[in-house]
Amino acid sequence: MIKITKKHLVLVNVNYFMPDYSSIVQDFFWQTEDYIPQLPRTHKFLNYWKDNIDAVINEVSVSYTNEINFRYTFFYEEL
């Protein structure tokens, strides 16, 4: 049996701050297509941010829709 996977629209909201200005929290929105529920592309993006960008992630919100147009949102703090 072959399982066909379909990419879904995913919105990632990253709240971050720069180490020099820790009192100013900024938002970064990123929209992509990814496989649900594993989200491999989203994980790759967040790991890249953590390893290569000086900004410190404060909170991450991941939202996506499935075929029936239900919306799911997950919040992650303290990455």
Average pLDDT over residues 42-52: 94
Average pLDDT over residues 66-70: 60
User: Using an 8 Å Cβ cutoff, are 8 and 66 in contact?
Assistant: yes
Residue 33: both structure tokens together: 């297509």
pLDDT category at 75 given cuts 50, 70, 90 is low
Q: Spell out the residues 6+ positions from residue 1 whose beta carbon is closer than 8 angstroms to its own.
A: none
